[in-house]
């Protein structure tokens, strides 16, 4: 005898969290009005069940062998090794700018064995060379196979598969990221000139601020397709947002999934409607006021570090956030990730670089994930796009 289920909004939130876009409603099930409303809002289709289940896999020789080798249960087999999810080690990673962020990226990349060759380039004589030497000296302990090279010569980007650009000025106390626009745009243009001749097939990750504007500069000056010019900010802002939510809810950051979109600045758009704590909507743990405070903390996070440091801005979290993008490119991380890309009509926005969720791969941008946003979140994205257009005089 089948038991009647009452399907509430939470069951649908849980299904969405597990990546489902359909929910099976069996005869006799009661679906609450709130659940129907939630389904429409978060993009889950209610499907009259029972849904036909996929048939059992056919047993071939290879499956039988794997089953025989791993005798856990008659039905259990080792998962097929998937070539597409095996992380790729880069031949060459180039870092233009070996200051606070660039040096930390090099350190993380060397320790994670991400590339055969890590080349650091900095206009200031000795800076990149010293860092490369320091990292090579550490390899006797870390065992890193990466060979680090430092230079002042931008042409050393030649042959790099991924180039991370952190060259330029960082902001000081009282400065906004937009204050850096003129000086850093010149750095982007001169760097792009060399990249397009020496590394014409590279994927470029821009980190230099103001991020969205500098990504536009790099895109224009290299003439590369949008797939190969990405901006890093969303991974950092999302990490800051997750940290704030975890602190407020008294859980560990690993219990939190949340991301921010939009611009890297005052027009950042944290997306609470998709955020979860222990798989549940934020409202299960936090009040409206607490959520608003976490949003504010994510937006002002960079400024808080600048105010404390007095000279320069954050370096460690931005380096981890850049590594996260490289991991998506080389297949060491899966799913979508917030990244700044030129939009071509996605989310109703065209001709401006903005942080959006996207899938990355060996050739850069694979696809933008046009998730459902609330009206407020979409409005925040539109505001960010307008602000960038205004700053760029578009
Ligand atoms: N997108 C983000 O989320 C994010 C986060 C943190 C910092 N940033 C930005 O990243 C940039 C770097 O920050 P940082 O803390 O590493 O600054 P930093 O001052 O420590 O390092 C910048 C380095 O760039 C070098 N440089 C300047 N012009 C150059 C050129 N033409 N060619 C090669 N090298 C050049 C400088 O000599 C310096 O060593 C800043 O613009 C900062 O605002 C962005």
The tens digit of pLDDT for each residue in 96-131 reads: 999 999 999 999 999 999 999 999 999 999 999 999
Q: Is 207 in the pocket of ligand 1 (CB under 6 A)?
A: yes
Q: How far apart are CA 207 and CA 323, in angstroms?
A: 11
pLDDT at 74 over 60: no
Q: What is the tens place of the pLDDT at every residue in 143-181? A: 999 999 999 999 999 999 999 999 999 777 877 777 889
Q: For a pocket test of ligand 1, which of 122, 128, 232, 338 has the largest count of ligand atoms closer than 8 A to its C-beta? A: 122
**Residues ≥6 apart with Cβ < 8 Å to 192:** 217, 218, 221, 222
Output the CA 169–ligand 1 centroid distance in Å: 5
Binning pLDDT at 50, 70 and 90, where does residue 54 land? low
Higher pLDDT pick, 80 / 373? 373
Is any atom of ligand 1 closer than 6 Å to the C-beta of 178?
no
CA of 222 to the centre of ligand 1 (A): 19
Atom of ligand 1 nearest to the CA of 152: 33
Higher pLDDT, 312 or 238: 238
> What's the whole-number mean pLDDT along residues 221-245?
97
Which residue lies with its CA nearest to atom 22 of ligand 1? 99
Closest C-alpha to ligand 1, atom 26:
167
From ligand 1's centre to the CA of 145, what distance in Å? 26
CB 46 within 8 A of CB 39: yes
Largest CA distance in the chain: 79
Ligand 1 site-directed mutation target among 169, 173, 205, most atoms within 8 Å of CB: 169
Domains of the chain: 6-48 (no CATH), 90-231 (3.40.50.720), 234-392 (3.90.110.10)
> Ligand 1 centroid to 307 CA: how many Å?
17
The answer to whether residue 274 is catalytic is: no
């Amino acid at each position: 005898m089948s038991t009647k289920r009452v399907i509430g909004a939470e069951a649908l939130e849980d299904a969405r969290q597990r990546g489902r876009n359909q929910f099976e409603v069996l005869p006799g099930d009661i679906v609450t009005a709130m659940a129907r409303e939630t389904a429409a809002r978060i993009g889950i289709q209610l499907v009259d069940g029972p849904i036909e289940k996929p048939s059992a896999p056919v047993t071939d020789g290879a499956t039988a062998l794997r089953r025989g080798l791993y005798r856990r249960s008659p039905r259990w087999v080792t998962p097929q090794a998937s070539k597409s999810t095996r992380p790729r080690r880069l031949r060459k990673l180039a870092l233009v700018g070996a200051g606070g962020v660039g040096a930390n990226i090099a350190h993380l990349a060397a320790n994670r064995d991400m590339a055969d060759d890590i080349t650091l380039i900095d206009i200031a004589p000795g800076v990149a060379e010293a860092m490369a030497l320091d990292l090579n000296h550490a390899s006797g302990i870390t065992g890193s196979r990466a060979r680090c090279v430092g230079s002042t010569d931008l042409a050393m980007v030649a042959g790099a598969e991924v180039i991370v650009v952190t060259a330029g000025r960082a902001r000081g106390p009282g400065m906004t990221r937009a204050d850096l626009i003129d000086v850093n745009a010149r750095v982007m243009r001169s760097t792009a000139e060399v990249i397009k001749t020496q590394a014409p097939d590279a994927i470029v990750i821009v980190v230099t601020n103001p991020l969205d504007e500098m990504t536009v500069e790099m895109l224009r000056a290299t003439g590369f397709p949008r797939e190969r010019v990405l901006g890093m900010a969303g991974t950092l802002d999302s990490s800051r947002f997750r940290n704030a939510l975890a602190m407020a809810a008294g859980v560990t950051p690993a219990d939190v999934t949340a991301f921010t979109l939009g611009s890297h600045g005052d027009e950042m758009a944290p997306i609470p409607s998709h955020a979860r704590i222990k798989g549940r909507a934020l409202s299960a743990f936090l009040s409206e006021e607490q959520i608003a405070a976490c949003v504010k903390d994510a937006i002002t996070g960079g400024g808080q570090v600048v105010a404390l440091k007095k000279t320069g801005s954050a370096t460690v979290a931005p380096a981890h956030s850049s590594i996260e993008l490289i991991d998506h490119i080389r297949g060491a991380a899966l799913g979508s990730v917030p990244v700044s890309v030129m939009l071509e009509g996605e989310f109703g926005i065209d001709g401006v670089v903005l942080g959006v969720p996207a899938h990355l791969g060996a050739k850069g941008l694979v696809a933008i994930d046009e998730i459902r946003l609330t009206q407020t979140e979409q409005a925040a994205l539109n505001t960010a796009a307008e602000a960038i257009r205004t700053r760029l005089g578009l």
